[in-house]
Amino acid sequence: MKIRIEIVAVDCLMVRLFDVIDETNMPWMLAAIRRLRECFGQGLIDLVPSYTTLMVHYDLRQLLASDARALIAQALDDLQPDAGGSGSGRTHRLAVWYDPSVGPELKLLASRCGRSINEVIERHSAHEYQVFALGFAPGFAFMGQVEEILASPRLSTPRKRVAAGSVGIAERQTAAYPQVSPGGWNLIGRTPVRLFDRALNGYSLLQPGDRVRFEAVSHDEFIRLGGDDTPLEANA
């Protein structure tokens, strides 16, 4: 691991730990987050993790750029993953109703990879996904990695409105939309689980370092859990 520091803004530095997206990065990222928080203390405004980087937003009233660089070097000196290797993330099981009426690309994805719809559902729900980062919208968790056979490029024209709870795939990432928003991911189903709520600690149910498994449920179970089965058109 070759650590590099890049300037993002007058009060932000980007710490690049890796060059390639990999699930094995996360224990190192979580250890780096913990060490940076300890070293910066009250001088840290925000710390934003991604697949391979950590953005450090620090308080200019307390720290010079040279101070921030020195603290980063101190925090990451002799960095090692925390005991246990996987960090302190939680494991979540998200119920999903996989159906073309709420997942317009489900049939297309099956056709594209030469598998039946049922096999696509089985493959997507068989893997436990790592939450790498939050972004795009509050509570939107980027997870990976899906099997290569399920990987699919983003839509050439994003939708203007994607329903809350919509589960989708983009390249080798998967995610569930926490609220109604535009979006260009390939939608394959919908979860009834509330992913973003002010009543939640940190507002977002999912956090970097967490792991997620999607569980296929029937339409009746989806409705019982509070799901909205309003159809979403493929060209919406």
Domain ranges within the chain, ordered by starting residue? 4-76, 91-224
pLDDT of the residue at 103? 96
- 74-126, pLDDT tens digit by residue? 999 998 887 655 456 799 999 999 999 999 999 999 999 999 999 999 999 99
- What phi and psi, each to the nearest 5 degrees, are found at residue 55? -95, 125
Does residue 78 come out as left (phi exceeding 0), alpha (psi in the -120 to 50 range) or beta?
Answer: left
**How many percent of the chain have pLDDT more than 90?**
76
Looking only at Cα atoms, what is the longest distance across the chain?
Answer: 59
Cβ neighbours for 74, distance < 8 A, ≥ 6 positions apart: 39
DSSP 203: S
Scan for tokens 């099981």, then name that residue: 93
What is the C-alpha to C-alpha distance for residues 39 and 56, in angstroms, rounded to an integer?
A: 12
Give the architecture (CATH level 2) of 91-224.
Beta Barrel (2.40)
One-letter amino acid at 232 equals L
Tokens standing for 25?
Answer: 């990065």
Tokens standing for 210?
Answer: 């967490």
Report the CATH fold assignment for 4-76: Gyrase A; domain 2 (3.30.1360)
pLDDT of the residue at 235? 47
What is the C-alpha to C-alpha distance for residues 228 and 118, in angstroms, rounded to an integer?
A: 22
Cβ neighbours for 26, distance < 8 A, ≥ 6 positions apart: 86, 87, 89, 130, 132, 208, 209
Judge residue 127's burial from the number of C-beta atoms within 10 Å of its C-beta, 0-12 exposed, 13-18 middle, 19 or more buried. Answer: middle
pLDDT of the residue at 43? 95
Show the low-confidence residues of the chain (pLDDT under 70).
83-88, 233-236
pLDDT of the residue at 183? 94
Q: At what angle do helices 117-126 and 106-113 cross, to 10 degrees?
A: 90
